[in-house]
Amino acid sequence: LLAIARGALLPNETDIEISCDPDCRLSLLGIQAVQQAACSSNDTIVESGTIYPPTYFTDLLLHAFEFACLQNDAGTEYCFPRFIEWNQNEEEEEYCNECNLGVWKSRLSSPFGWRDGLFDQYTSLTASCNAAPSWAVTSPSQYALGYTGAMPTMPSTTTSSTPRPTLSCQSNYTIQASDWCTSISRVKQVSTYNLMRVNNLPAYCGEFPGPGTSICIPETCRVHTVSPLDTCGKIANAAGVTTQQLISWNPNINPECSNLYNMVDYVICVGPLGSVATTTASTTYTPIQTTM
């Protein structure tokens, strides 16, 4: 379940059968209750510069269980393997299937799965499907308790021989009302991590400045917006580079690429700094033109 939650495993039917034991969910709920009763507000978990409640890992596993173990209305099959198949192969005729919509909704209903960009895709999807109001989702409550201000760094165990490049401010940009770190990254053709790093801001867009603030824009690179179905190998193959190169250009991706799930909807480099700023294709939902 942790590998599924981290995005390090796209489970097949065998994986689902092993992971989706109902007793497992009951055990996790029991652990969660014990933690909530025993821990105080001073007990926290810090990961990648973000401060979480003490139930963080249990909550993360329960989130994985909810979306990975979702079944169709008849209870005859698990939805997630079909979700992966339909979206990877762009089988548009299945986009409005209850299983596809259900996995999208389950992921977005949790703070672990919510991303503004994914919400926009899902909203377009439900509109194209003429889906009932019951399929609508709203932004979940804030889960993180705060930020340490520390940026994630490349672990010392990396096999890459390329040192982390020194960033410099290439230009200045004044944040507009409709801007967010990811939208600026896409327009300016820079990685979201480098944008945050050159401005000495916490990782994952924590404490991102408001409108009217002037920020530095770092060196450009060929960029790619991470999608929920991406893996390092898949991104590297599409960009015509090696996985080792991809990781060397993105110090926030660990050597195993097991933390890519944290970067969904964020922009990463698929070429060295200063390379031609062209965007690679990403596996994202393409709005359907027909209704159910």
Q: Would you place residue 269 in the very low, low, confident or very high pLDDT band (cuts 50, 70, 90)? A: very high
Structure tokens at 184: 């600026």
Distance from the first to the final alpha carbon of the chain: 34
Number of compact structural domains in the chain: 2
pLDDT at 240 over 90: yes
Same domain, 229 and 201: yes
* pLDDT confidence of residue 151: 46
pLDDT of residue 90: 67
Which range has the top average pLDDT, 113-122, 184-193, 254-263, 276-285? 184-193
Residues 173, 105, single domain; the answer is no
Q: Which domain holds residue 209?
A: 152-269
Neighbours of 103 (CB within 10 A): 25
Distance CA 266, CA 260 (A): 10
Per-residue tokens: 121 = 């895709």
Tell me the per-residue pLDDT of 75-107, one tens digit each, with 9 for 90 and over.
Answer: 889 999 888 888 766 677 888 999 999 999 998
Q: Answer whether residue 208 shows pLDDT above 90.
A: no
Q: Which of residues 22 and 48 earns the better pLDDT score?
A: 22
Q: Are 127 and 27 part of one and the same domain?
A: yes
Q: How much is the pLDDT for 155? A: 37
Query: In the listed set 135, 170, 200, which residue is the last one of a domain according to the structure?
Result: 135
Q: Is residue 116 domain-resident? A: yes
The overall pTM is greater than 0.75: no
Asked if residue 176 is part of any domain, the answer here is yes
Question: So what's the pLDDT on residue 8?
Answer: 65
Whether 107 and 185 share a structural domain: no
> 1-47, pLDDT tens digit by residue?
887 877 667 788 888 988 999 999 999 999 999 999 999 989 999 87
pLDDT in tens, 158-194: 334 445 567 889 999 999 988 889 999 999 999 999 9
- pLDDT, tens digit (0-9, with 9 covering 90-100), for 91-150: 778 889 999 999 999 989 998 888 777 788 888 889 989 999 999 999 888 898 887 754
66 plus 105 within the same structural domain: yes
Residue 289 belongs to a domain? no
Tell me if 275 is assigned to some domain.
no
Residue 292 pLDDT more than 70? Answer: no
Residue 146 in any domain: the answer is no
Same-domain check for residues 204 and 238: yes
Together in a domain, 50 and 119: yes
Same domain, 131 and 9: yes
Q: Which of 164, 163, 201, 161 is nearest to 185 (CA)?
A: 201
Question: What mean pLDDT do residues 59-81 have?
Answer: 92
Please report, to the nearest 10 degrees, the dihedral formed by the alpha carbons of residues 166, 167, 169, 172 taken in order: -170
pLDDT at 290 over 90: no
User: Does residue 110 share a domain with residue 19?
Assistant: yes
Angstrom distance (rounded) from CA 113 to CA 12: 20
Residues 209-219 pLDDT 10s: 889 999 999 99
pLDDT of residue 258: 72
